[in-house]
Amino acid sequence: MKRFLSLLVVAILAGAMTLGMYKAFLEPDAVVITKNESTPQTSIIPAAYSTTNLNTVNTNTDFTIAAEKTVNAVVHVKQYGITKTPRNLMEYFRNGGTTERRIQGAGSGVIITEDGYIVTNNHVIDGATDLEVTLNNNKSYKAEVVGTAPQSDIALIKIETDEKLTYIPFGDSNTAKIGEWVLAVGNPFNLTSTVTAGIISAKSRDLNEYDGNVQSFIQTDAAINPGNSGGALVNINGELIGINTAITSQTGSYVGYAFAVPSNNARKIVEDILEFGDVQKGILGIRGGTINPKAMQEYGISVSQGVLIASVEEDSGAKKAGLKEGDVIREIDGLPIRKFADLTGYVNSKSPNDIINVKILRKERELNLPVTLSKYIIQRYNIEDVGVEVANPAKEVLKKFNLDHGVVISKALSPRMQRYNLEGLIISEIDGKKVKNVLQVKQIIESKYPEEDITISLIDRDGEKREFVFQN
């Protein structure tokens, strides 16, 4: 019996040792899961899943193709001018402040044709006596100004070369979307051929909401700094969708907000300059503004976005098409109009006599009206060298002076001219040429050399003709 018990104990110990050795050396490590009942479960947040076919979406956007297409078509624009400002008091007392100094500014430009037409900002070339353009291959050329559109800050310049230049084709800025990737190409701080990336942050952005000159910029967060002005804003296909123009900053350097003139507007300006010599501006012929809560209440409007028509100009396309005060413009050619900058941005890309389809809301009823755009006629012009502003006169004003031509002095600009009570008098001739409207005045003045005198024929309040010579 004792012998049996001894064998049993030995067998049990042997079995335990065998099992222990298997557990220790042969069995795989176990995955231990512990559960803490006191820890609350994580909340499940619903996710919005896109049904877009991922095969058609480039989830890893490649900017290299767009950069290669554009970097050789963006140029460095240097402008040289003359200033007579003295550098210090000693120079002022010695020379009376007349010492001339050569100054230099720099910006960017975009080649838009293989034969050397370049679009840039007006402020890049404004006041220049000489322009120099340097290509990405370091070749430099003299450039001439072909035409400018100061209100839109666009200028067209030209270089002469026998080689075919790389250029950037225009894209359609109307189809560009918020959130779309873009590249800004330019020469910030004279760092030539710089490419930065970002997205379109907003469209139809107006930076001068209260100055009467409503603008419509593309806003981007692609880094733009001094020197980028006049450079290219392109999509990932390498198409030009904007001309980089401005930044909003308290420091003068980029802080995340940059703005570009839409390519459709720039292209229209360029085409007008090449065909007509100046910008042919089509106008709708309304006055109004973006809908606000006060207007909604006053006019009983149920929609919160659009352009409310406050008045319609006589003989305009809007008047002839039947637009009325109180109408709300909701769409133009299918493009949603949410604010006044949407309207001006689109209309500024059109020409006189173009027909646009305007969708309006009139007393809760939608109407579609085709409108033929009128030709913009300049109404006022500042003759700065004379110190007066002139305007197109009403027929009864000319009749009062027994005239069939002339422009009326609407305002005296300089303190010297303000002493003479000139408002309401008629300028009948400039340099011996009869003037019938403000546009003719503008053309005569801007065709003169800077140092030329200006001879003004003025009809005084007694109907007598008097001549005055203004020396420059």
Q: Are residues 264 and 296 in the same domain?
A: no
Residue type present at position 374: S
230 inside domain:
yes
Query: At 429, which CATH number?
Result: 2.30.42.10
pLDDT for position 39: 35
Query: If you average pLDDT over residues 35-45, what whole number do you get?
Result: 33
Q: Are residues 196 and 218 in the same domain?
A: yes
Q: C-alpha angle with apex 366: 313 to 204, nearest 5 degrees?
A: 65
Q: Are residues 71 and 149 in the same domain?
A: yes
Asked whether residue 60 carries a pLDDT value surpassing 60, the answer given is yes
Query: If you average pLDDT over residues 315-334, what whole number do you get?
Result: 94
Residue 321 and residue 312: Cα distance in Å, rounded?
Answer: 11
pLDDT for position 307: 95
pLDDT for position 213: 59
Least confident stretch, 15-19, 47-51, 109-113, 393-397: 47-51
Query: At 216, which CATH number?
Result: 2.40.10.10
360 inside domain:
yes
Q: Are residues 251 and 311 in the same domain?
A: no
Which of the given ranges, 24-28, 416-420, 456-460, has the highest pLDDT on average?
Answer: 456-460
Structure tokens at 258: 């940059």
Indicate yes or no: pTM above 0.85: no
Closest CA relative to residue 307, chosen from 200, 206, 178: 206
Q: Are residues 386 and 371 in the same domain?
A: no
Q: Are residues 293 and 268 in the same domain?
A: no
Domain end position, chosen among 248, 276, 304: 276
pLDDT for position 83: 58
12 inside domain:
no
Structure tokens at 39: 């820890």
The distance in angstroms from the start CA to the end CA of the chain is 139
Query: Do 310 and 287 meet the contact criterion of CB atoms below 8 Å apart?
Result: yes
Residue 197 and residue 222: Cα distance in Å, rounded?
Answer: 5
Domains of the chain: total: 4
Q: Are residues 366 and 399 in the same domain?
A: no
211 inside domain:
yes
Q: Are residues 300 and 392 in the same domain?
A: no
2 inside domain:
no
Q: Are residues 403 and 444 in the same domain?
A: yes
Q: Hunting for tokens 């012998």 — which residue is that?
A: 3
pLDDT for position 220: 96
13 inside domain:
no
Residue 113 and residue 368: Cα distance in Å, rounded?
Answer: 38
Q: Are residues 271 and 177 in the same domain?
A: yes
7 inside domain:
no
Closest CA relative to residue 189, chosen from 74, 107, 123, 67: 107
Domain end position, chosen among 124, 159, 194: 159
pLDDT for position 399: 84
Residue 468 and residue 464: Cα distance in Å, rounded?
Answer: 13
33 inside domain:
no
Q: Catalytic site residues?
A: 123, 153, 229
Q: What is the mean pLDDT of the chain?
A: 82
Domain end position, chosen among 375, 410, 445: 375
Q: Are residues 114 and 177 in the same domain?
A: no
Query: Do 432 and 395 meet the contact criterion of CB atoms below 8 Å apart?
Result: no
What is the span of the domain harbouring residue 308?
282-375
Q: Hunting for tokens 């910029």 — which residue is that?
A: 217
pLDDT for position 51: 33
Structure confidence by residue, pLDDT tens digits, 325-337: 999 999 999 999 9
Q: Which residues contact 466 (CB under 8 A, 6 or more apart)?
A: 457, 458, 459, 460
Least confident stretch, 81-85, 236-240, 316-320, 364-368: 81-85
Structure tokens at 78: 């240097």
Query: Do 310 and 284 meet the contact criterion of CB atoms below 8 Å apart?
Result: no
**Full 3-state SS string of the chain:** CHHHHHHHHHHHHHHHHHHHHHHHHCCCCCCCCCCCCCCCCCCCCCCCCCCCCHHHCCCCCCCHHHHHHHHHHEEEEEEEEEECCCCCHHHHHHHCCCCCEEEEEEEEEEECCCCCEEEECHHHHCCCCEEEEECCCCCEEEEEEEEEEHHHCEEEEEECCCCCCCCCCECCHHHCCCCCEEEEEECHHHCCCEEEEEEEEEEEECCCCCCCCCCCEEEECCCCCCCCCCCEEEECCCCEEEEEEEECCCCCCCCCCEEEEEHHHHHHHHHHHHHHCCCCCEECCEEEEECCHHHHHHHCCCCCCCEEEEEECCCCHHHHHCCCCCCEEEEECCEECCCHHHHHHHHCCCCCCCEEEEEEEECCEEEEEEEECEECCCCEEEECCCCEEEECCCHHHHHHCCCCCCEEEEEECCHHHHCCCCCCCEEEEECCEECCCHHHHHHHHHCCCCCCCEEEEEECCCCCEEEEEECC
Closest CA relative to residue 350, chosen from 150, 180, 216, 244: 216
Q: Are residues 110 and 197 in the same domain?
A: no
pLDDT for position 212: 45
Asked whether residue 20 carries a pLDDT value surpassing 60, the answer given is no
Neighbours of 24 (CB within 10 A): 8
From residue 144, give the alpha-carbon distance in Å to each of 26, 73, 157, 159, 252.
87, 18, 6, 7, 29
Structure confidence by residue, pLDDT tens digits, 207-239: 764 444 567 899 999 999 989 999 999 999 999
